[in-house]
Amino acid sequence: MNPHLTDLIRLLDLERLEDNLFRGTSRDIGSPQVFGGQVLGQALRAAYATTEGRRAHSLHAYFLRRGDFNAPIVYEVDRSRDGHSFTSRRVVAIQHGAQIFHMAASFQTIEEGVEHQLPMPDVTQPEALRSLYDVPADLRDKLPPAVRKLVRDDIPFEFRLVQPINYARPVAEPPRQDVWLRAIGPLPDDPLLQQCLLAYVSDYHLIATALRPHGASMATPGISVASIDHAMWFHRPARVDDWLLYSMDSPSASGSRGFARASLFTRDGVLVASTAQEGLIRLPPSA
């Protein structure tokens, strides 16, 4: 297995301290704090460790404080309810004696029922697009530091943007984007692991969609962007080592907050998950 994927799976393999208490480590992916998707994935993994025979169908999380990737994170799971068909869990992430994150997640026994879905957008296929990290090494070294963090090629996922963005000199664009994503190598046939990894990668690119109408990007000098909350609904099983289309739009930005929502489709058009996120957005005065 690719070493970056091996490391990510190890990151989600939490240490069990007590029945409802777990400890995880962090990785520095270039952001000033712990990556929100990491905390989402670890919290979901901790909740799964207290359930049996049920699959997560939704989660709702709040990011309360910046995480320190130099210190461990403790996850405390509250077994809120174990019903006939549904199970509820609340997970609190603690670091340096303070809550940095909390999440409510709901699990359900697998059932058959009515089905429908919206169609997948008609977009360029991933083979016709360049990888976000397809930047020659000599050119990468000349990019501003903030841009280099966005095009680093040592993360465990590959992204191909249907609507390319010039991170160094962005221009105002409609508040939507489509991104093909997948893990950079094969993964184990473990549906729970696949779902935790899907939660992990869902935090990429989402709130950045709200920056597009304002001619800004995550690499804009002086910009301040941080996730406030994150919601996710798992509709159908999915593999993150196959191409998935992340189709995102941002209906609104106000009060220094940007809102974005998205759908995740398999290559053959099956809607597997939906997400929504609100984030803090503070542009520098000259932006």
- Yes or no: say if 33 and 95 are a contact pair by the CB < 8 Å rule: no
List pLDDT tens digits, range 232-286.
Answer: 999 999 999 999 999 999 999 999 999 999 999 999 999 999 999 999 999 988 6
Our answer to whether residue 227 is catalytic in this structure is: yes
Q: Of 38, 42, 194, 227, which one is the catalytic site residue?
A: 227
Q: Of 195, 203, 217, 247, which one is the catalytic site residue?
A: 203
Amino acid at 22: F
**Structure tokens of 171?**
């221009």
What is the CATH classification number for the domain harbouring 26?
A: 2.40.160.210
Q: Is residue 124, in this structure, part of any structural domain at all?
A: no
- pLDDT for the residue numbered 145: 64
Q: Is residue 36, in this structure, part of any structural domain at all?
A: yes
Q: Is residue 287, in this structure, part of any structural domain at all?
A: no
Our answer to whether residue 95 is catalytic in this structure is: no
Neighbours of 84 (CB within 10 A): 6
Domain of 165? 3-110+129-282
Q: Of 38, 95, 195, 277, which one is the catalytic site residue?
A: 277
Our answer to whether residue 28 is catalytic in this structure is: no
- Yes or no: say if 38 and 197 are a contact pair by the CB < 8 Å rule: no
List pLDDT tens digits, range 105-134.
Answer: 999 999 999 999 999 999 999 999 998 877
Q: How many domains does the chain have?
A: 1
List pLDDT tens digits, range 190-242.
Answer: 999 999 999 999 999 999 999 999 999 888 888 899 999 999 999 999 999 99
Q: Is residue 267, in this structure, part of any structural domain at all?
A: yes
Q: Is residue 236, in this structure, part of any structural domain at all?
A: yes
Q: Is residue 117, in this structure, part of any structural domain at all?
A: no
